[in-house]
């Protein structure tokens, strides 16, 4: 019996990377899951079966596009019908695009705000009524170091993640006298497939060995010169879902190797 046995969780953007590590961490503690994200149907079916058999929990999948409010609403209804309830919501889905403000494509700005910020508003507004009815819930928003500080050429991402930290605080205040908590996690560089590709591209562009490119990337921002692991973030989510974290409310918790301490 894990610490979250009997709980049901929705994790957006959880078919790979950070989201998958969070889903695994919650399942390891006994939570039933709805996973969400894009991917080939056979791979997702295999992942769903693997999580269910490895951890002995119920796992369902929904391919809702987080840029589409109608699909988000259908996903929450699907999760509630299949799992019976939603106790834990982790808003992890995110996309990125890099360009100077004056060259930033309008459609990319709109897409990043929709997926990285508005999607969290929609999932939260849809799950809160049932959490309030049961007087228990955990909402964790995966923000970023860029929810606290900025970098050049990332206007939409930085704006969305700052907004997500602000949304987190409002929800925490509105639920302050309940047993529902809402917090944000702000990771620095995490070694995901997406970041690994950035390292490979940098190595090729600058004629560096992979390890040199990795160190150069880290040195720009992360004083520890070590990546955060997806598993580190999964463990922090599990802690925030525990009773020990019941008075952590509206926090933006950094896990960034010292990035935002500078």
CA separation (Å) from 244 to 11, 241, 260? 21, 8, 25
pLDDT score recorded for residue 46: 97
Q: Mean pLDDT for the chain?
A: 97
- For the segment 156-162, the average pLDDT, to the nearest whole number, is 98
User: What fold does the segment set 8-188+229-255 form as a domain?
Assistant: Rossmann fold (3.40.50)
Q: What is the pLDDT of residue 240?
A: 98
Could you tell me which residues come within 8 angstroms of residue 249 by beta carbon, excluding any fewer than 6 positions away? 172, 175, 176, 181, 182, 183
pLDDT tens digits, 245-257 = 999 999 999 999 9
Assess contact for 40 and 64: CB atoms under 8 A: no
Q: Tell me the pLDDT tens digit for each residue of 93-144.
A: 999 999 999 999 999 999 999 999 999 999 999 999 999 999 999 999 999 9
Residue boundaries of the structural domains of the chain: 8-188+229-255, 189-227
Q: How many CB atoms lie within 10 A of CB 257?
A: 20
Q: How many angstroms separate the CA atoms of 113 and 94, rounded? A: 9
At residue 64's C-alpha, the angle toward residues 69 and 28, to 5°, is 120
**Given this model, what pLDDT does residue 118 score?**
98
Q: Is the pTM of this model over 0.95?
A: yes
What is the C-alpha to C-alpha distance for residues 230 and 224, in angstroms, rounded to an integer? 16
pLDDT tens digits along 169-197: 999 999 999 999 999 999 999 988 878 88
Alpha-carbon distance 46 to 37, whole Å? 14
The yes-or-no verdict on residue 209 having pLDDT over 90 is yes
* Model pLDDT, residue 218: 96
- What is the pLDDT confidence band of residue 232, given thresholds at 50, 70 and 90? very high
Residue 25 has pLDDT above 90, yes or no: yes
Q: Quote the pLDDT of residue 238.
A: 98
- Asked if 189 and 227 touch (Cβ cutoff 8 Å), the reply is yes
Provide mean pLDDT across the span 26-51.
97
Catalytic residue numbers read: 157
Q: What is the pLDDT of residue 208?
A: 96
Q: What angle do CA 112, 163, 169 make, to 5 degrees?
A: 145
Query: Rounded to 5 degrees, what are φ and ψ at 245?
Result: -100, 15
Q: Please write the tens of the pLDDT for every residue from 47-95.
A: 999 999 999 999 999 999 999 999 999 999 999 999 999 999 999 999 9
């Amino acid at each position: 019996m894990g610490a979250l046995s009997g709980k049901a969780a929705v994790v957006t953007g959880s078919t790979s990377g950070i989201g998958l590590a969070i889903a695994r961490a919650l399942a390891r503690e006994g939570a039933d899951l709805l996973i969400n994200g894009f991917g080939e149907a056979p791979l997702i079916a295999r992942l769903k079966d693997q999580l269910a058999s490895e951890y002995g929990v119920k796992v369902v999948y929904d391919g809702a596009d987080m840029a589409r409010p109608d699909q988000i609403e259908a996903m929450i209804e699907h999760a509630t019908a299949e799992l019976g309830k939603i106790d834990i919501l982790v808003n992890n889905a995110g996309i990125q695009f890099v360009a100077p403000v004056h060259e930033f494509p309008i459609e990319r700005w709109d897409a990043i705000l929709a997926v990285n910020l508005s999607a969290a508003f929609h999932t939260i507004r849809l799950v809160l009524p049932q959490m309030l009815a049961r007087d228990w819930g955990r909402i964790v928003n995966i923000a970023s170091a860029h929810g606290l500080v900025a970098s050049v050429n990332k206007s939409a991402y930085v704006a969305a993640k700052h907004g997500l930290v602000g949304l987190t605080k409002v929800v925490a205040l509105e639920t302050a006298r309940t047993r529902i908590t809402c917090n944000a996690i702000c990771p620095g560089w995490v070694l995901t497939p997406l970041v690994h590709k950035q390292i490979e591209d940098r190595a090729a562009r600058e004629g560096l060995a992979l390890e040199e490119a990795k160190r150069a990337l880290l040195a720009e921002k992360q004083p520890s010169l070590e990546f955060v692991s997806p598993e580190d973030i999964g463990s922090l989510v599990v802690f925030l879902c525990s009773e020990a974290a019941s008075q952590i409310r509206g926090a933006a918790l950094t896990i960034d190797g010292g990035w935002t301490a500078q």
